[in-house]
Each structure stands twice: as structure tokens, then as C-alpha cells.
Amino acid sequence: MRRWAFVMMALGLTLGLRARADDTTAGDPLTQSIMHSLFDPMSKVLPLSLDDNAFKSAEHRGEITALLKDLQDHATVLEMHGKRKDRAFEFIAKSFKNDAKNIYRWYTHGAYDEAQFTLRNITDNCITCHSSLPEHHKFPPAQAFFKAVQVDSLSPLAKASYYVMSRQFDEALNSYEAYFKQKDVSPSTLVTQSAFIDYLKICANVKQDLARPQRLIDAITLRSDISTATKAQLKRWSATLAELDKRQSLRKTNLGDAREILTHGRDQMEYLRDRDGIIHYLVASAILNRYVHDHPDRGQDVAEAYYMLGITESLLGHSFWLSRTEFYLESAIRLAPKAPFAPKAFDLLEQSYIASFSGSSGTHVPDDVRDLLAELQQMITAPPSGKSH
Ligand code: HEC
């Protein structure tokens, strides 16, 4: 039997035995076992992809083809598993599978540059999933992988991403902090970098710890090379972290709390993308990520959670590879097109697409996106179906 068929059968058996793997402190064993089978080919092929010669040479072709096939097959298993999860998990699992499929196809067609480029970016999927939810337990460090990618010789930010990918969150936070404490990067550059938000997400979502980033921010505030404006910004962030920590905001689990925190954040913002709202948005999104994870049932409350996640992600998201803002907003509309927030979700979705398809030669929204927007608009404005209850 082909290995792939065997994996599907094994998955089917496990799913049959475990109607729905509930997350306990031990986590979800089925997700874990799929992760192990993904990590294995990934940790072998990624080091090869870092070496141009090795990746393109005939010498490694058989080995790389087999590893990429393995990755694609297990990504398909993850995608199927995602259908039993919340929409946010399912979305990333699907994106991962598409990337894995493209990599295999490109590599086997000799399009090595495309395969290599996508292989380096596919890790964004691992990182996005891993940075969204609390850590249940420690996963042992993947020493052979770290040795193969020569992690010790990497810059702190590159190190941090490999650590998040392999769920070494303590090491990741240490690497980020080592970077933020480097004297040759000015404090004003630090706080405008997306790496800073990535760091905050791990503190809030994974570690549920607001005291640690506050300590870092307070330490940066003491630097002598800091501008008055940056210092004032950091002090405001520090005060917000202290206040939300005191209120134990990360322990909250309901939608009303997330909404209230989001509203406070918005009240502090004078203009769109004002960074003063970041800490509130970050904490609201930590609550919302857990909310959608804990409520895969897809009712109107879940729709509102996705709407609010669309708002938080429009400020906090930055990945050029995997954008979740549009997905969250589309989910909110599809799940509850008649809800009061649906027209607003649509406005933000439309703006977001227009921004991403605008350039120096004007706005070129692709046909499929136009069709999608028309379909969603129709769902919102269509008269009630007149079904009697
Ligand atoms: C769709 C979301 C998602 C994607 C994509 C994803 N992961 Fe995971 N991964 C998870 C979740 C959730 C857990 C935690 C499972 C638990 O403990 O319940 C996890 C756990 C792990 C673990 C630890 C397993 C254990 O036994 O504790 C490893 C290793 C891992 N992932 C590696 C990877 C790598 C490498 C990638 C990318 C190639 C990746 N993951 C992509 C969601 C994802």
C-alpha cells in the first residue's frame, strides 16, 4: 500500500475512535501526531533549501523529491483535520496545503527558484498557527534541525522564527529580546517593526504574560538614545500593559470583554493605524483567538468574534505571505450576513482588498475578488428568504 493511503487510513481510524479531540492541558493528540509527521520532512528539507547548490543539484534530487512528497501528503492530512476544527485553523491548514502542493509541483517540474522561495515562506503558516494560542506543554528542542540550519550563527530574528516554528517559545522570546536590546538599532525603529508585534503576540497569545513585555519596554525607555516621542509612546504602552495585567484581561473568555477592550483601544486612537491602540487590540485578539478555537460551532457570536478579529488583524497583521484580515471579515459576513456588524465588515473588507490591489497604475481588483464582493454584498442586502419558522 502506498504510504499516503496508509496515512489516510490511520487518520480515519483515529478520527473514528476520537469523535472530537478535546483540548485539555495535554493538548490535542491528533494535531500533535500530524505535526510530528510534518516536522520530520520539513526539518530535513529546509536546511537543504538554504543551500542553493544542494537544492538544485541532481545529487539530492531523489531525496528532496521524497521529502516534498511527504510534506505535501501530510499537509493534505492536516487540511482534512482542519475541517473538524474552527475556521481560523482550517484556513491556515488550507493555505499550508496549497503551499506544500505548489512546492512539490514546482520542484518536480524543475522550477527550483519558485520551490525554494515558497519553501522559505511556508514557515509563515507554522508561525501564524503557533503564535495564536496558549502553549499547553513544552515540546523538546529539535537539536538536529537547529544544528542543520546552524541556528547559532543566525541573526536573533531568524533564530526567533525557527524557534516559533518548532515551538521553542522561551528561546524565541529570548532571541527577540536579544535583538531589541541591540545597541545599533534605535528605539524608534524597534517599536515600528513588525518583529515587535510578533514578539507581543507570543507574550499575549502563547505565554499569556503581559508583565514580560512591560519589563522590556521599560528597559528600552531608559535608553539614552531614545527620542522624546518614542519615549512617550513606550510609556503609554507600558501603562496600558500594567492596567490590563492588573485587570487580568488575558483571563477573560467572553465576547463582551473582548469588545470592551477593543473599544478602549479604539478610543485611544486618533487616526487609523494609530499605534496607541496596539496593546488593547493585541489583548482583545488573544481573547478572540481562544474564543473561536473554543467555539467551532459557528453561530452569530462566532461571526462577531471573526468581525472583531478582522479589525484587530487589520492593525496587527503584516505578513505578506498569509493575510488573515480578509478571511476573518469574509467569515463574519458568511456566518451572519444579517447581523448589524455585517455591513461594517463588508466596508472594511472592501477597503482592505482595494488597498492590496492598488499601485502606481491605479486599482486593479481581480475578477474573482470582484465576484466575491458582489456575492457577499448580495447576502447582506437580499431580503429575508421568507421561510416560516
Ligand atoms: C493549522 C495550524 C498549524 C500549522 C499550519 C502548523 N501547526 Fe504545528 N501545531 C499547531 C497546534 C495547534 C499545535 C499544538 C497542538 C497541541 O499541543 O494541542 C502544534 C504543535 C506542533 C508541534 C509540537 C507537537 C507536540 O507533540 O507537542 C510541532 C513540532 C509543530 N507543531 C511543528 C509544526 C511545523 C514545523 C509546522 C510547519 C511546517 C507546523 N507545525 C504548522 C498548529 C499548526
Q: Is 269 contained in some domain?
A: no
Comparison of pLDDT for 7 and 190, the residue scoring more: 190
Q: Is 342 contained in some domain?
A: no
Considering the domain architecture, whether residues 10 and 78 belong to the same structural domain is answered as: yes
End-of-domain residue from the set 225, 240, 266: 225
> pLDDT > 70: what percent of the chain?
92
Could you tell me if 354 and 365 are in contact, meaning their C-beta atoms sit under 8 angstroms apart? yes
Rg (CA), the chain: 22
Considering the domain architecture, whether residues 199 and 136 belong to the same structural domain is answered as: yes
CA of 227 to the centre of ligand 1 (A): 40
Which contiguous run of DSSP H or E holds residue 363?
strand 362-363
**By residue range, what is the domain housing residue 151?**
127-225
pLDDT in tens, 87-113: 999 999 999 999 999 999 999 999 999
**Of ligand 1's atoms, which has the minimum distance to the CA of residue 133?**
12
pLDDT in tens, 114-173: 999 999 999 999 999 999 999 988 999 999 999 999 999 999 999 999 999 999 999 999
Report the sign of the C-alpha dihedral through residues 7, 12, 17, 20, in that order.
positive
CA 47 to chain centre: 23
Considering the domain architecture, whether residues 170 and 205 belong to the same structural domain is answered as: yes
Maximum CA extent, the chain: 70
The verdict on pTM exceeding 0.85 is yes
Considering the domain architecture, whether residues 46 and 138 belong to the same structural domain is answered as: no
Q: Is 259 contained in some domain?
A: no
Q: What cell does 374 get?
A: 458582489
Average pLDDT estimate for 65-77: 98
What is the residue whose three cell numbers read 465576484?
Answer: 371
Nearest to 381 by CA among 349, 333, 335: 333
Question: How many CA atoms lie less than 13 Å away from 329 in the CB half-sphere?
Answer: 25
**Of ligand 1's atoms, which has the minimum distance to the CA of residue 27?**
18
**Of ligand 1's atoms, which has the minimum distance to the CA of residue 132?**
12
CA of 163 to the centre of ligand 1 (A): 12
Nearest to 73 by CA among 49, 46, 41: 41
Write down the mean pLDDT value for the chain: 90
Considering the domain architecture, whether residues 4 and 88 belong to the same structural domain is answered as: yes
> pLDDT > 90: what percent of the chain?
78
Instruction: Name which residue sits closest to atom 18 of ligand 1, judged by CA.
Output: 27
Burial state string for 341-370 with b = 16 or more CB within 10 A and e = fewer than 16 = bbebbbebbbebbeeeeeeeeeeeeeeebe
Instruction: Name which residue sits closest to atom 38 of ligand 1, judged by CA.
Output: 126
Is the CB of 241 within 6 Å of ligand 1? Answer: no
